[in-house]
Amino acid sequence: MLATIDLRGRLTGGADDAVIDYRTVVPRAAVDVEAALGVVRGVCDDVAARGEAALRDYSERFDRVVPASFRVPEEALAAAVDGLADDLRAAFEESIARRRQVCAAELGPVAVDVELAPGARVTQRMVPIERVGLYVPGGLAPLASSVIMNVVPAQVAGCRSIAVASPPQREFGGLPHPSILAVCRLLGIDEVYAVGGAQAVAMFAYGVPGLCEPVSMVTGPGNIYVVAAKRLLRGIVSIDSEAGPTEIMVLADDTADPALVAADLVSQSEHDPLAAAVLVTDSPALADRVQEALPGQVAATKHSERITTSMSGRQSAVVLVDDLEQGLAVVNAYATEHLEIQTADAAAVAARVTNAGAVFVGRYSPVSLGDYTAGSTHVLPTGGCACHSSGLNVKSFLKAMHVVDYSREALAAVARHVEVFAEAEDLPAHGYAVTARFLDAPELGV
C-alpha cells in the first residue's frame, strides 16, 4: 500500500558511495503551500478591503453556508455545554487538566535578573501578547481538542484577549460544530467566530470593522489554505509554526508490533488526503507485515477513501535503511511533525532525535494519545519546520522584554566602550548620547 524507498547499501557520502540527501528522501511535494498562496492572496486582500461582505462570499463559496451572525451568540455557547454527553465532557476536562498542568511547568522560571557590576542591572520580563486569534480546524473533522491546545497555553501565559475562529457548519445552521463551542465555553472563551480557512486568518490579522478587532498573533493548526494565509500575513501578525497537514513518521525495528505500527500510520492519515505517513525501518520483515496489515485496517475505517489517498500519495512511504543509525539520519533530516519510536530501548533512540515536532516513545505512547490526553501539545510544525520551530506552548504567547537599569557610576565605567563602538560604526551621535551625561564631571574622564 505504501511505496517503498530502499536506502539499503547506500551510505552517506563515503568516497565511492552515492551521497544521499536525506532531506529529500521522502518528498513533501504533495503539500504545495506556494500554490495555495495564489488562492489565499485574493481572499486575504478581499477581507482587508471589504470586511464582512467578503466573509459572507467566502463562507458561501468554501463552506456552503453563511452564518446568521459571524460572531457566535452567547446562547449557542451555553447550549453547547448543556448538550454535552457526560463521557465527552469528562474527556474534555481530563485533557484540559493535563494540558494545563504541563503548561504551568512550561512557564518555568521566567525572571532573569543580572547585576553585571555594581549598579549595572539587566532584567528580563516575560510579557504576554495582549490579544491573540486562535484557529480551530473544522473542515473535514471538528477538532474540539484544538480549542484546548490553543486556549490553555494562551490563558496560562496571561493573554488578556482571546478570540477563537472555526469554520461554519451547514449541518449546524452556520455555527461551528457544537463540541468546539462546548470546549470554548468550558474554558471561559466567549469571543468565538464562525469563520474558516484563510478568511479567518485575514479577519484576525486585519480586523473587520464592527465585527472583530485585529489581533497581534494568530495560532493554530489548519489545512493548506490556513497555512498559506499564515505564511502570507506573518509580518502583519505574528504566527506560531506552520502547523499544516498532519505527518507521522515511525522509526521501528523488528521488535515493533506491525499491527500497531499500521494502526498509528492509519490514524494520522485520517486527517487529510495530504497527510503523510512514513515508516522508517531496518527490518524488511516488519515492513512486509505492516504492508500486509494496512489494507484491512484502512478498509475497516470510516474515512478509508481519505486515508487511501494519503497513503498512496508521494508523501507517504516505507523507507528501508541499513540500521537504526541511518534511520536516525533520515528522521532528523526529514523533521517530521510526529515521530514514534518503536524499537528496542526506544528511550535511548528517542534521546538522539534532534528534529521532530513531538516524539512518542514506545508501544504505549501512540500519537493519538498526544492528540487528546497526554498533556503535550498537538499543534506542531509540519513541512520540515520542526528543524527550526516548536509546537505551540506557553512561551509562544510571551514576549521577552529586557529592562536596562544602570546607575551614573555604572554608566561611567563603560562610557568609553560605548563611545569607541559608536565611532567604529560611524554613528557619533550614539556616542554623544553617553558623553552628554557627563559634561559636568570631567573628573570621570568620559
Ligand X SMILES: N[C@H](CO)Cc1c[nH]c[nH+]1
Give catalytic residues, as residue numbers: 337-338
Helical (H) or strand (E) element with 231: helix 224-233
Helical (H) or strand (E) element with 367: helix 367-372
The stretch near ligand NAD (CB under 6 A) out of 19-27, 74-82, 113-121, 241-249 is 241-249
φ/ψ of residue 246, rounded to 5: -60, 145
- Interaction of residue 245 with ligand NAD, rule CB under 6 A: yes
Q: Which does 39 bind (CB under 5 to 8 A by kind): ligand X, Zn ion, ligand NAD, none?
A: ligand NAD
- Interaction of residue 138 with ligand NAD, rule CB under 6 A: yes
For residue 199, say whether it is annotated as part of any ligand binding site. Answer: yes
Q: What is the DSSP string of 117-185?
A: ETTEEEEEEEEE-SEEEEE---SSS--HHHHHHHHHHHHHHT-SEEEEEE--BGGGTTBPPHHHHHHHH
240, 285, 378, 420, 438 from 164: Cα distances, Å: 15, 47, 17, 51, 53
3-class SS of residue 378: coil
- Interaction of residue 67 with ligand NAD, rule CB under 6 A: no
| Cα 84 to Cα 404: distance, rounded to the nearest angstrom | 51
Query: Of 177 and 185, which CB lies nearer to ligand NAD in the complex structure?
Result: 177
The stretch near ligand X (CB under 6 A) out of 5-13, 139-147, 255-263, 345-353 is 139-147
Q: Which of 95, 169, 199, 246 binds ligand X (CB under 6 A)?
A: 246
Query: Of 217 and 286, which CB lies nearer to ligand NAD in the complex structure?
Result: 217
- Interaction of residue 185 with ligand X, rule CB under 6 A: no
- Interaction of residue 99 with ligand X, rule CB under 6 A: no
Quick one: which of 239, 244, 189 has its CA closest to 219?
A: 239
For residue 372, say whether it is annotated as part of any ligand binding site. Answer: no
- Interaction of residue 139 with ligand NAD, rule CB under 6 A: yes
Query: Of 293 and 380, which CB lies nearer to ligand NAD in the complex structure?
Result: 380
CB of 248 to ligand X, least distance (A): 8
Quick one: which of 300, 311, 303 has its CA closest to 278?
A: 311
- Interaction of residue 444 with ligand NAD, rule CB under 6 A: no
Q: Which residue type sits at 269?
A: S
Quick one: which of 319, 353, 348, 324 has its CA closest to 338?
A: 353
| Cα 62 to Cα 50: distance, rounded to the nearest angstrom | 17
One character per residue 110-149, x = contact with Zn ion (rule: CB under 5 A) = ----------------------------------------
Q: What is the DSSP string of 380-441?
A: ---TTGGGT---S-GGGGEEEEEEEEE-HHHHHHHHHHHHHHHHHTT-HHHHHHHHGGGTT-
Contact call for residues 155 and 161 (beta carbons, < 8 A): no
CB of 374 to ligand X, least distance (A): 11
One character per residue 368-397, x = contact with ligand X (rule: CB under 6 A) = ---x------x-------------------
The stretch near Zn ion (CB under 5 A) out of 71-79, 165-173, 363-371, 428-436 is 363-371
For residue 124, say whether it is annotated as part of any ligand binding site. Answer: no
| Cα 255 to Cα 252: distance, rounded to the nearest angstrom | 8
> Site for ligand NAD (CB under 6 A): how many residues?
31
Q: Which does 145 bind (CB under 5 to 8 A by kind): ligand NAD, ligand X, Zn ion, none?
A: ligand X
- 438 Cβ contact list (under 8 Å, min separation 6): 412, 415, 444, 446
Q: Which residue type sits at 202?
A: A
CB of 248 to Zn ion, least distance (A): 9
- Interaction of residue 225 with ligand NAD, rule CB under 6 A: yes
Q: Which of 267, 378, 393, 396 binds ligand NAD (CB under 6 A)?
A: 378
According to DSSP, the β-strands at 112-117 and 120-128 are antiparallel
One character per residue 371-400, x = contact with Zn ion (rule: CB under 5 A) = x-----------------------------
List of residues contacting ligand NAD (CB under 6 A): 39, 62-63, 137-141, 143, 146, 167, 196-198, 221-223, 225-226, 243-246, 271-272, 275, 337, 378-380, 382
Residues of this chain that bind ligand X (CB under 6 A): 143, 145-146, 246, 268, 271, 337, 371, 378
Annotated binding site: 135, 199, 223, 246, 268, 271, 338, 371, 425, 430
